[in-house]
Amino acid sequence: MDFNAELQRCLLPLGEAYSLPAHTYTDESFFYWEKRSSFEEQWFCLGLAKEIPNCGDYVLKDIYDHKLILLRDEQQQLRAYSRICRHRAMDMAACPTLAKKNSKSDISADKGNIEKITCPFHRWSYEINNGQLNHTPHAQLSTQHKKSSLPEYRLHEWQGFVFININGQAGAFSTQLQALEKQLSQADISRYAIHQSSAKTSNQGNWKLAMEIAMESYHHIGAHFNSFQKISRASSTYVDHGNQRYAALINPYCKNIDRSHGPIKLDLFPPSSIEQHYQGFVYYALFPNLLIGTMGGFFDINIIYPTDKDSHRVEAFLLVPEGEDDNPDIDTIFQQFNIIEQEDQALMQAWIKGLTSAQAPQGPLTKLEKANWLFYQYLLSSLVVNKNTNSRMQEA
């Protein structure tokens, strides 16, 4: 079967559709196409606006070969610039040991506060309001060269999340999120604070594996038999609503569970309006790379960034109600989540081995994998699957 025919099988109606072919997780040319179509030409999640609440606050973001700095300017506007100096192509955040002590212009950590952006190589600096070059010590530049500025990227803030369009050519931010927007607005995520234990991790495996594991609960009967399966049965989970832009995965709580004990403590905070509505925990998957989970009165946020075809990075945020940052019971959540993360990592490593074997099949999708099926609709429609796909992939 040719490659295009394999992809077309993923787009069949649910019940007839198949999973992605194994080589879409391992092939360099496919990774090239998906990173261009999903992470350059389309909107994707870059982070949380709350990461940088004040003027001059910044956080560094790496999206495969794009080195970015996300900051808040003097007008409280969010900005995303390339952090590659326009003089000699230095990554201005790559040498924290060269940063001047207590400087308000040097990038000395993954996040901080600055008044301007300065390169440690030759001390050229740029304005935070527009990325404009403003200081070039001992350099006699032409008028044209003095107009140099850092490339700026197009941003959109939605429900407290920051989305970016790398090539600047995407259409208006999706209008397909209305049902989801209504639910998140009622939950009012702005009332939640980022807990200090939030973390970044680097992981083996294609980025799609992390998304697909998170957006289906069928594997509760396998990897999470002693954790999530005791809270929400895999057989009772379902996708309530979704389209080519997102999926809402509902996990109804088992009857008569003790919310204060067991695999996950569910009564730490008052349940969100979303949990109350569904009487269970919910995971929203916003394609291509954002996962929003709500359970136990807190939000579990995961943002997946591709590194290369065989690895990805995850930025995980725990959002808790304002004023609850120092609640000692939160440590219990992290201990339990670490166990679940270890279960998922073991699952992913076994999956990677299977996908790289000669016998890896293109398996049928079940109704419990509807969110994965919706993810394929997004991914493959943005790749423009047509009769020319094979030749275009070979050219790449």
Q: How would residue 386 be classed by pLDDT, with cut points 50, 70 and 90?
A: very low
C-beta atoms surrounding 182 within 10 Å: 10
H-helix or E-strand spanning residue 283? strand 280-286
Instruction: Give the pLDDT confidence of 267-278 residue by residue, as tens digits.
Output: 889 999 999 999
pLDDT at 329 over 90: no
pLDDT at 113: 96
DSSP SS3 for 231: coil
Say what the pTM is: 0.93
Q: How would residue 392 be classed by pLDDT, with cut points 50, 70 and 90?
A: very low
Q: How would residue 370 be classed by pLDDT, with cut points 50, 70 and 90?
A: very high
Mean pLDDT score of the chain, rounded to an integer? Answer: 91
Q: How would residue 8 be classed by pLDDT, with cut points 50, 70 and 90?
A: very high
Asked if residue 223 lies in contact with residue 155, where contact means CB atoms within 8 angstroms, the answer is: no
pLDDT at 335: 83
Q: Please compute the mean of the pLDDT values over residues 299-304 and round it to a whole number.
A: 96
CA-only gyration radius of the chain, Å? 22
pLDDT at 332 over 50: yes
Q: Please compute the mean of the pLDDT values over residues 300-308 and round it to a whole number.
A: 95
Give every strand in the sheet of 111-113, ordered side by side: 78-82, 66-72, 57-63, 111-113
Residue matched to tokens 């009769």: 387
Q: Please compute the mean of the pLDDT values over residues 346-356 and round it to a whole number.
A: 95
Q: What share of the chain in percent tops pLDDT 70?
A: 96
Q: How would residue 396 be classed by pLDDT, with cut points 50, 70 and 90?
A: very low
User: With b meaning 16 or more CB within 10 Å and e meaning fewer, what string describes 250-271?
Assistant: bbbbeeeeeeeeebbbbebbeb
Instruction: Give the pLDDT confidence of 187-207 residue by residue, as tens digits.
Output: 999 899 999 878 889 999 999
Q: What share of the chain in percent tops pLDDT 90?
A: 76
Q: How would residue 67 be classed by pLDDT, with cut points 50, 70 and 90?
A: very high
More confident call, 394 vs 149: 149
pLDDT at 384: 52
What are the backbone angles phi and psi of residue 276, rounded to the nearest 5°?
A: -60, -40
Q: How would residue 354 be classed by pLDDT, with cut points 50, 70 and 90?
A: very high
**Rounded distance, CA 386 to CA 19, Å?**
18
Q: Please compute the mean of the pLDDT values over residues 352-378 and round it to a whole number.
A: 95
The torsion defined by the Cα of 315, 319, 325 and 326, in degrees rounded to 10, comes to -80
**Rounded distance, CA 317 to CA 331, Å?**
14
Instruction: Give the pLDDT confidence of 115-130 residue by residue, as tens digits.
Output: 999 999 999 999 999 9
Q: How would residue 98 be classed by pLDDT, with cut points 50, 70 and 90?
A: confident
Q: Please compute the mean of the pLDDT values over residues 18-39 and round it to a whole number.
A: 94
What are the backbone angles phi and psi of residue 69, rounded to the nearest 5°?
A: -125, 125
Query: In the numeric block, which tokens belong to residue 385?
Result: 């699957």
